Chain A
Amino acid sequence: MHALFIRGLKFWCYSRGMLLKCVLLLCAAAVVFAADVPQKTFPFAYTQEDLANGLRLITIPTDSPNLVSVYIVVQTGSRNEVEPGKTGFAHLFEHMMFRGTDAYPPEKYEEVLRRAGAASNASTSNDFTVFHTTFSKEDLAAILTMEADRFEHLKYSLEAFKTETGAVLGEYNKNSANPGEKMEEVLDDTAFDRHTYKHTTMGFLEDVKNMPNQYDYSLTFFDRYYRPEYVTIIVAGDVNQKQVRALVDKSFGGWQRGSYHPDIPAEPKQQGPREAHVDWPSPTLPLLTIAYKSPAYTDTQKDSAALDAFATLVFGSNSEVYQKLVVKERKLDSLGAFAPSSVDPDLFTIRARLKHAEDIPAMRRELLDTVARFREELIVADKLDAVKKRERYGFTIRLDNSDSVANTVAQFVALRRTPDSIDKYYAEYRALTPEDLREMARKYLIDSGRTIVTLTGAAK
């Protein structure tokens, strides 16, 4: 057990703020600040350490008086659900983890959280599951002890398991009122053939309904993935690194490493455009989604950053096509594009909501023409610079509390298991040129990798 990597970057946010006051008084803000902008994007000093059992700990002191946020990232999501008929289990485990242990049955777990004044929750995505709690710093030892206990010793009865599957079906039900959820299901199912991104994190409805019969499989799932080598603990806030390390050593040090490596099927190259349509049973506005197979997240090449910038520049709220179709012609009710940061190749998606179903063919043509146009034309360099500025400022504005810092780091930990990926990714971002964006559009936003899904509602 030793510290593998210690970063000593100074606390940039606050040192910048104080400097700024002086600079403003001297009326020379812009010049001094241009020179003062550091090349590091993540402004906090942090410590990253690996325990002998493979567990990773990242401690980030921030200026959050009395508050601490603990994010426990398990690098297991619906991507890890490799067996047919077993979709939705990563998400089910997000629920099961609240079902207690011998030492902390659910009532006692709740009591510790309540006494800590904690805001606590969890979420699951394609690639990871995260359990997060924000609370007063004096309760850090109690919370870490309890968290370690449930990650190592989770124990639930068949009855408790079946009861919780009811809550999961309840979650499916509350989501099912939204046609956007159905759209995602059909898009993933149509675009992917073999990879587990074929199903959403909620899972297929038939699998969710069958969950009560899968108690034994649930034990297998826990045994495979709730192991220290899959887990990173992020502690951000009013904390001291040595104290956190000692607490984590004590509470998580005895947890045994596992040995399971999932065989996640690679998605074969898509050979031609695909389409699907959803008839929604009640009246709703039509939806149009155009998706392209896109690369896995990278922080060493420009692909991920370039597609993210492309999404913002070409389909964002100040793009030409947005201004034309949403603001001026008002054919679209909303429009946006999204380049995911995923462990494996995923889908770059353009999502539009229309006012009238009869406009679907024309809007589809407009959006496809826009993609085609930027496979040929270069984006204006000034606009790309504006996106880079936006990313930098947006990042600073977002990191205004321990919860948000830990949450942001968790997204990168899910991909590369280190906040270091933040600086690498944004270094790629800063280096982007208009030619890079065009090159990535030519490489990824191509007809043979395209899937289009439309949804229309019932007549009123």
Chain B
Amino acid sequence: MKWGPLLVAVSTFGLCGWAQMRTVALPGNSPVVTLRLVFTTGAAQDPPDKPGLARLTAEMLAGGGTKHLTHDQIVNALFPMAASIGSQVDQEMTTFSGATHIDNLDAYYKLFRAMLLEPGWRDDDFKRLKDNAINSLRVGLRGNNDEELGKEVLLSELYAGTPYGHYSAGAVSSLETLTIDDLKQFYKQHYTQSHLIVGIAGGYLPEFLDRVKQDFAALPEKDAAPAVAIHAKSIQHTRALIVEKNTRSVAYSLGFPIDVKRGDPDYPALLVVQSYFGQHRESGGRLFQRIRGIRGINYGDYAYIEYFPRGEQLMEPPPNVARSSQAFQIWIRPAEPPQAAFTLRLAVYELNKLVKDGIPQEDFERTREFLSKYVNVLTKTKRAELAYAIDSLYYGIPNYNTYVKNALARLTREQVNTAIRKHLRADRLEIVAVSANAQDLKRQITGAGPSTIEYNSPKPADILAEDKIVGSYDVGLRPEDVEIVPVDKIFE
């Protein structure tokens, strides 16, 4: 396999020869310098009885004081720079990032360094951040965001019994019992040089990068904890979980784990499938066209082969949520309750059609052309280019754009359809719905139907004929396969 030229400098650095601190550097002339420090550890390393520990630890570093500065002193120091230091925690990656004008690089970096290397562990910061974390779960997710809730519940269900089996933000009862000592312990064990990837882009000088590397060599060299291994249990029969809450409409997420991640032979093929079937927030995907475009049922319908949090806010996938195990997911945006059962049948019907018929030649070519160019959009900022390069290091692939373009150039429709048959299916699904009147919905989605749909305008005969088939399409759910859980029990 021949890769394109590597534009990103990637190196390892270690004072003792074996401590593998890695760097990804994109020097340039921009007056903006982006720092991105990624630790290849995260929520998957939470002890089983302490979900949310990795996330709260990172939030404590990014949102608390240092040994010498209180949180408000840091906020005041960052304020005139228009800079911030943010954290993001997923199952296997913890990211600290920010950008500053080069005028302020020295002052900014001093804060960044102190926050990560000399945390203050103050009790008042801890209480505030813990409160925020609990409210974010109870109100931000369960109360106000049915769609994200559905997606995270789906993943927790798919990975139950594995280190991914809890939401990275944890659970209320766990957060309530966490102590500062728990956080310190997590920090000491997992924030190591061997996990660290130092990313930097912009108009910095080489000496500056050397300084960063020297500073972070103060971290312990290695994490003694074993690496995470994910073996999701196979799903024996399609099943559904209805999260019951008082809400206007019904949001769905459904899917199953797949044995394909970035760098694997079938990744490019499934990337084409994802784009053809449900390119995120674009109107050209098959699901979008059939559910929203033709039938006007909801706001959008998409498909994924990689974890994609915050999809209702983001137009492009957030980088640095790399995972060693990924899931195929379908996101059906809220539908009006009378159409909800039909909508689920339609989504699974379309999935079945995809598995059975594969991708048409014309769509294959069009999608391949789209993706070959769209990768440039994904890395349109230095920030994104840097973050993608860090992910590429994690997955052991070269520059993402080069990887995708080269792979797509060689890809055939037959390979895509083989990959569909090998990795995708329309049975043995995990389905999550967020809905009011859960018993009603349960009754409507179990059994063979029929579900009907009424339109506010005449539809072509072929659509009406298809609706009859869809209305009776059996998604394979028996009443005993459906569980109803009140929303206040989710992530509690």
Interface residues of A (CB under 8 A from B): 13-14, 16-18, 20-21, 24-25, 29, 33, 64, 66-67, 98, 106, 110-111, 113-121, 134-136, 139, 158-159, 161-167, 169-171, 173-174, 176-180, 212, 281-285, 316-318, 323, 326-328, 330, 333, 355, 385-387, 389-394, 396-397, 400-404, 457-458, 460
Contacts and interface: CB of A to CB of B under 8 A. Distances in A.
B50 interface: no
A13 B334 contact: no
A177 B248 contact: yes
Contacts of A385: 80
Interface residues of B, number: 83
Contact of A117 (B82, B203, B333, B377): B377
Contacts of A114: 284, 366-367, 369-370
Given A17-B31, A180-B144, A390 B82 contact: yes
B125 to A, nearest CB: 9
B37 to A, nearest CB: 18
B158 to A, nearest CB: 23
Interface string B180-213: 0000000000000000000000010100000000
A159 B457 contact: yes
Contacts of A330: 127-128, 131
A177 B334 contact: yes
Given A117-B371, A330-B127, A173 B249 contact: yes
Contacts of A387: 79-80
7 nearest A-B pairs in the assembled complex, by CB-CB distance: A117-B373, A166-B296, A394-B82, A162-B457, A163-B296, A170-B298, A386-B80
Given A17-B28, A333-B131, 6 more contacts: A14-B30, A116-B370, A166-B295, A170-B297, A318-B72, A387-B79
Nearest to A117: B373
B292 A390 contact: no
B457 A390 contact: no
Contacts of A284: 139, 143-144
30 contacts: A13-B31, A17-B28, A17-B29, A33-B103, A64-B380, A114-B284, A114-B366, A114-B367, A121-B281, A136-B373, A159-B459, A163-B296, A170-B335, A173-B248, A174-B334, A177-B247, A212-B456, A285-B135, A285-B143, A327-B71, A330-B128, A333-B139, A389-B80, A390-B81, A397-B32, A397-B82, A397-B100, A400-B30, A400-B381, A460-B488
B100 A170 contact: no
B234 interface: no
A119 B456 contact: no
Contacts, number: 229
B111 interface: no
Nearest to A164: B296
Contact of A170 (B139, B205, B333): B333
B147 A165 contact: no
B294 interface: yes
Contacts of A326: 128
Contacts of A457: 143
Nearest to A98: B283
Contacts of A116: 370, 373
Nearest to A171: B299
Contacts of B203: 17, 20-21
Contact of B455 (A120, A162, A396): A162
B477 interface: no
A243 B282 CA distance: 28
A283 B375 CA distance: 42
Interface in B119-147: 124, 127-128, 131-132, 135, 138-139, 143-147
A159 B458 contact: yes
A163 B248 contact: no
A290 B1 CA distance: 62
Nearest to B202: A17
Interface in B228-250: 245-249
A210 to B, nearest CB: 11
B251 to A, nearest CB: 7
Nearest to A283: B143
B299 A135 contact: no
A174 B299 contact: yes
A48 B456 CA distance: 45
Q: Which of A134, A176, A397 has the most CB of B within 10 A?
A: A397
A390 B81 CA distance: 5
A14 B30 CA distance: 6
Contact of B488 (A29, A139, A283): A283
B104 interface: yes
Contacts of A393: 80-83, 100-101, 103-104
B102 interface: yes
Nearest to B339: A166
B284 A67 contact: no
Contacts of A135: 373, 377
B248 A166 contact: no
Nearest to B279: A114
A313 to B, nearest CB: 10
Nearest to B372: A117
A286 B448 CA distance: 43
Nearest to A395: B82
B143 A282 contact: yes
Nearest to A116: B373
Contact of B282 (A120, A134, A327, A390): A120
B101 A177 contact: no
B299 A167 contact: yes
Given A17-B31, A167-B296, A284-B144, A403 B79 contact: no
B455 A177 contact: no
A166 B297 contact: yes
A69 to B, nearest CB: 9
Contacts of B376: 66-67, 117, 136
